[in-house]
Amino acid sequence: MSDVKKIATRDSYGNALVELGKEHEDLVVLDADLAGSTKTGVFRKAFPERHLNIGIAEANMVGIAAGLAACGKVPFISSFAMFVAGRAFEQVRNGVGYPHLNVKIGATHAGISVGEDGATHQCLEDMALMRQIPGMVVINPADDVEARAAVKAAYEHVGPVYLRFGRLAVPVYNNPETYHFEIGKGVVIKEGTDVTIFATGLCVKEAMEAEALLAADGISAEIINIHTIKPIDRELVVKSALKTGKVVTVEEHSIIGGLGSAVAEVLSEEAPTKLLRIGVRDVFGESGPALELIHKYELDAEGIQKQVKAFLKNN
């Protein structure tokens, strides 16, 4: 097996902004003293006059972005998910969502894969919060190729977009030559017949590996990447659920309010199906190396395999 290249999606964010910045003069990037961590430092270096460091003041950063957008700029605001979706939730809701301004939120360090910093910095609620805001698009890309495509799509979309990125370097599995990204369209990675696994973010690669483990157990799993949490691909969710009759969701997020909830909402309304939500089960995270935490919280291939098998046995 050849070595798989690993890139953190936060790096993809910074690199994509530099590429977009070359083409689009109206693109500006805002940071709250974390340009080194959100990886927008590369944009600051390339376009210093279009990088605004607001200081450690996320609420103000969101408001400044609203004002910039109202004057024709396309601001990408960057911070940790905890501080932009969490701390500045109301500013995003009232200052960006309500007036439907063309502000893009690049939220890095989402989920428990933040690692050693621990619970205060591991945002497990951001997709639930952002999904609540009318008109907000919520995207959680799985690898470098998808993340860069998502940043480009976010720029082209007129209206607010929440982009969720991770700190941890994750395997690049999509082919940049052939990969096509469309907001709101799920990606069928592997067809199967016994169970559908809808995964998002870094859990997509884990679900792909779980599929191989499950196959060895004689279970045929359909693997679907839901990169857009809102608007969710209702058609694909229903179609696959009707086909397999068993649904599992996997996300590096609380099981309350994220992908699992979004899928549950669609299925309850359109195709009631037995559902298992894999994610962080209503607890705060903790300190530890990212990969160890992903294993401990059973979000890796092995954890997914174990939980899917138990789910299928009991249902």
Partner 1 sequence: MTNLELQKTANEIRKSIVTAVHSAKSGHPGGSLSAADIFTFLYFEEMNVDPANPKMENRDRFVLSKGHTAPGLYSTLAEKGFFPKEDLKTLRHTGSYLQGHPDMKGIPGIDMSSGSLGQGISAAVGMAAAGKLDNKDYRVYTLLGDGELQEGQVWEAAMWAGYRKLDNLVVIVDNNNLQIDGPIDTVCSPYPIDKKFEAFNFHVINIDGNNFDDIRAAFAEARATKGMPTAIIAKTVKGKGVSFMENEAEWHGKGPNDEEYAIAMEDLKKAGEALCQM
Which residues participate in catalysis according to the annotation? 58
**Residue 100 contacts partner 1 per CB under 8 A:** yes
Residues paired with residue 80 on neighbouring β-strands, in sequence order: 108
Q: Is the CB of 36 or the CB of 67 nearer to partner 1?
A: 67
* 57 binding partner 1? (CB under 8 A): yes
Between 96 and 202, name the residue whose CB sits nearer to partner 1.
Answer: 96
Nearest approach in angstroms of CB 30 to partner 1 is: 9
The answer to whether 131 and 85 have CB atoms below 8 angstroms apart is no
Taking the complex as a whole, the smallest distance from the CB of residue 47 to partner 1 amounts, in Å, to 11
CB neighbours of residue 292 within 10 Å: 11
Rounded distance, CA 186 to CA 234, Å? 9
Task: Tell me how many residues contact partner 1 (CB under 8 A).
Answer: 29
Min dist CB 85 to partner 1, Å, is 16
* Residue of the chain from 36, 55, 272, 289 that contacts partner 1 (CB under 8 A): 55
Q: Give the integer Cα–Cα distance in Å for 195 and 32.
A: 43
Q: Is the dihedral of CA 14, 17, 21, 26 positive or negative?
A: negative
Whose Cβ is closer to partner 1: residue 60's or residue 132's?
60
Q: Judge whether 142 and 204 are in contact, CB under 8 Å.
A: yes
Helices H, strands E: what count in the chain? Answer: 13, 14
Binding residues among 2-41 for partner 1 as defined by CB under 8 A: 28
Q: Does 94 bind partner 1 (CB under 8 A)?
A: yes
- Could you tell me whether strands 169-171 and 6-8 are parallel, antiparallel, or unpaired per DSSP bridges? antiparallel
For residue 80, the SS3 value is: strand
Please report, as residue ranges, which positions from 63 to 92 form the binding site for partner 1 (by CB under 8 A): 63-73, 75, 90-91
Residues in contact with partner 1 by the rule CB under 8 A: 28, 49-50, 52, 54-55, 57, 59-60, 62-73, 75, 90-91, 94-95, 98-100
